[in-house]
Amino acid sequence: MNIKLDPSRDDLPLMANTSHMLVKHYILDLDVDFGNGVIEGNIVLFFGDGNRLKKQSSSTQETFQMESEEAYIFRTVGPCHVPEMDSSTFSPKMGHKEFAVCGKGDQDAFDNNGNHDNQEHDSEISSSKYCCDTGNHGREDFLLVLDCCDLSVLKVEEVDVAAVPGLEKFTKASKLSATPEKLRREIVRDLVALPADAWREQLDCYTRCSQAPGCGELLFDSDNWSLQIRKTGAPTAADFPHAIRIWYKTKPKGQSVAWTSDQNGRPCVYTMGSPINNRALFPCQEPPVAMSTWQATVRAAASFVVLMSGENSAKPTPLREGYMSWHYYVTMPMPASTFAIAVGCWTEMKPKTSPSSDLMTDHALPLPRSEADFRCDNTCSHMEYPCRFQSASAAAQDIIPYRVFAPVCLEGACREALLRLIPPCLSAAHSVLGTHPFSRLDILIVPTNFPSLGMASPHIIFLSQSALTGTNYLCGTRLCHEIAHSWFGLAIGARDWTEEWLSEGFATHLEDIFWAEAQQLPRHEALEQQELRACLRWRRLQDELQNSPEGMQVLRPNKEETGHVSASGASVVKHGLNPEKGFMQVHYLKGYFLLRFLARTLGEETYFLFLRNFVHLFHGQLILSQDFLQMLLESIPENKRMGLSVENIVRDWLECSGIPKALQEERKAEDCQPSRLTRQVGSEVAKWIRMNRRPRKRKRGTRDAAFEKVRHRWCELVIKHKYTKAYDQVERFLQEDQAMGVYLYGELMVSEDARLQRLAHRGFELVKEHMDNASAQVVTEMLF
């Protein structure tokens, strides 16, 4: 596949050349500076062989088209002078066409605190030409490409892992039979290949190696989307260093993290699910095929709590006066895009002592140490790691250990709405899909500028405060949706990010199943509730398809090219940078209706038994749509497939815009019973009006509405009928519920009412500085 990046389009480039080298482990060592709004420090990357050397285990067609390595190595174009690197060379006036490199005599380039003085020479460099006196004129050097954006890269160096004592018993590398360069590469190669039952020793070795001294600085350059690194005299990926350290710092306006204030007005920073993922947090390999493990040590002022994607419930370690250090690790390889971090003045919300809280002590105990040191056996198809699916204790653990964090002002809402729902929702998910893929869970109520209702990452869920309502419904369903992502989206990921339905469609379908199980509803009540939600989703899908471009209605937009990458491993995510995409639900809704159609057609008992088996087979792996569909149909006798085939499902559901014919016929045959729907929604609106008409004493941290969705609908009615007495409620909704409030700006502007339009502009002015870039861009287009 010939990947050509057109910067005028809305596709997201994935630049890393993963075909040649794959990051196997990251170690981040970072300081959070709230005064300057930056995160700075270093990251050490440990590499293994590239994807081009690995066999594809998927049952689908071969998707990686490889070229000779010679096509992806750096060619020096001739000698040119490199000025001596001193403090003047690294001044802000440094030209964008100069190649950044630090030499041994470069101490003047650092200030007294060891900080690099290169304030401007960073990832804003565009279309630069490498210009270095390599001392190796005309020779070809391998070029490592990492995904990188909005970062100030200060220095890149090779790590001297051979200087670390005690690694001999874990590696086969011989100090006598190898050059220093080869010895370092062999040590890393052996280290990343250690068996799963040596995971503790492996993490310890990684940590000690990350603290080893540098043994030579590497040439680097960057453009808008990538960081390019090379070593003079390393012609191939096999000759390139397999452990490198990158010194860098983020930018206050970097797109991967949001610097904002929590509901108490205290500063905080967190990853908010940016369209560019984590490349503005640390240099990395973004393509999903680059599945890695990680460790992170993060330092912050003692008043802050650091939460992160990690298997351990980290406890702070005191440092110098007023500072704490937090350490997390992950041993299950996952794409770097799944990493999440949040630093703020969070308070842990613990349930009050009550009979219901016994669920915590009875079911949420950590695994015994003897069960933690297991390794996967031949029944798992993924790369080797300490897999919970092979542990009897993990398989029986219906409620994993969990914690809830939020600003202290939301303590009452968390106690009333969230804490008591977590055990039944976790237990329900376990009853449907089996073993929880992750050993523990943190849930954080994020600031009001969070652009969605929830986001799941390994071991941590970010939940919007909009979910903390006066009733169970929105909180419970949203919690079930995010829990479902532990299986679909995290433990099982899409090999091609354009197949977003493999994550969101499954989570949307499973949230209904989990929620009915959590409520322990009789079957007829569960079916009635699910049918009502299907009616609501059907109407939303119809509305969205009527108001969106056809190209963004397709679940598999790359069609037969899905999963293909260039010979280097680079690719693009179609529409990945389109700001409207984040507000579209076609992947959620169309994917949901496809899975609902398959379950009803093949029989729900048959379907969910298959789904449990599918999870057991494919956890820890990346899939394409065909993997799921092929295994599903192969598990059904041919005479019971109802004429379904992989080809016609792909054609009719995944690769076409609009509403699939089968879905149109299904919804036509099933009356959505609008009178029943109207009665339920109408009763909630009436309840909300009654609650707001009568004065009452409110607890600190409680919310006004029974349903945030009903509150949103109420605001729509206020705008439509120009009910001036409730305009203040619309304005409050725009500020307090930004995850859902974005949709109201369009309603305000199309009303063609001057007062409502002024309300929209005023509301935007109050929140725009804290909005994420995509939301702000969409609203700006609505208003101006």
Q: Which of 482, 499, 731, 736 is catalytic?
A: 482
503 CB-near residues (< 8 Å, 6+ apart): 485, 488, 489, 493, 494
Query: Quick one: tokens of 502?
Result: 């493999």
Rounded Cα–Cα distance for residues 405 and 414 (Å): 9
As a three-state string, the secondary structure of 532-583 is: HHHHHHHHHHHHHHHCCCHHHCCCCCCHHHCCCECCCCCEEECCCCCCCHHH
Rounded Cα–Cα distance for residues 187 and 175 (Å): 10
Nearest to 189 by CA among 292, 46, 329, 52: 46
Rounded Cα–Cα distance for residues 753 and 92 (Å): 49
Q: Can you point out the beta strands (E) in 280-320?
A: 291-301, 305-308, 317-318
Count of beta carbons in the 10 Å neighbourhood of residue 364: 18
Residue type, 489: G
Q: What is the DSSP letter of 773?
A: H
φ and ψ of 254, to 5 deg: -55, 145
* CA torsion angle 429 435 440 445 (round to 10): -20
292 in Cβ contact with 476 (< 8 Å): no
Query: Long-range contacts of range 493-496, CB-CB < 8 Å, 24 or more positions apart?
Result: 493/288, 493/334, 493/335, 493/338, 493/621, 493/622, 493/623, 494/288, 494/622, 494/623, 494/624, 495/58, 495/63, 495/288, 495/289, 495/563, 495/622, 495/623, 495/624, 496/288, 496/558, 496/562, 496/563, 496/624
Rounded Cα–Cα distance for residues 342 and 305 (Å): 8
Residue type, 104: K
* Alpha carbons within 13 A on the beta-carbon side of 695: 0
Rounded Cα–Cα distance for residues 310 and 308 (Å): 6
Residue type, 486: S
Query: What is the bridge-based pairing of β-strands 402-406 and 441-445?
Result: parallel
What kind and span of H or E run contains 260?
strand 257-261
* Alpha carbons within 13 A on the beta-carbon side of 577: 14
End-to-end CA distance of the chain: 40
Longest Cα–Cα distance in the chain: 84
Rounded Cα–Cα distance for residues 282 and 249 (Å): 8
Which residues, listed in sequence order, are joined to residue 267 by a DSSP beta bridge?
261
φ and ψ of 770, to 5 deg: -105, -5
387 in Cβ contact with 620 (< 8 Å): yes
482 among known catalytic residues: yes
DSSP string, 378-439: TT--SSSS--GGG-HHHHH-SS--EEEEE-GGGHHHIIIIIGGGHHHHHHHHHHHH-S-SSS
* CA torsion angle 506 23 277 126 (round to 10): -140
Query: Quick one: tokens of 185?
Result: 């590469």
Q: What is the DSSP letter of 346?
A: -
Rounded Cα–Cα distance for residues 196 and 387 (Å): 8
- Angle (nearest 5°) at CA 546 between 545 and 550: 55
Could you give the residue numbers annotated as active site?
482
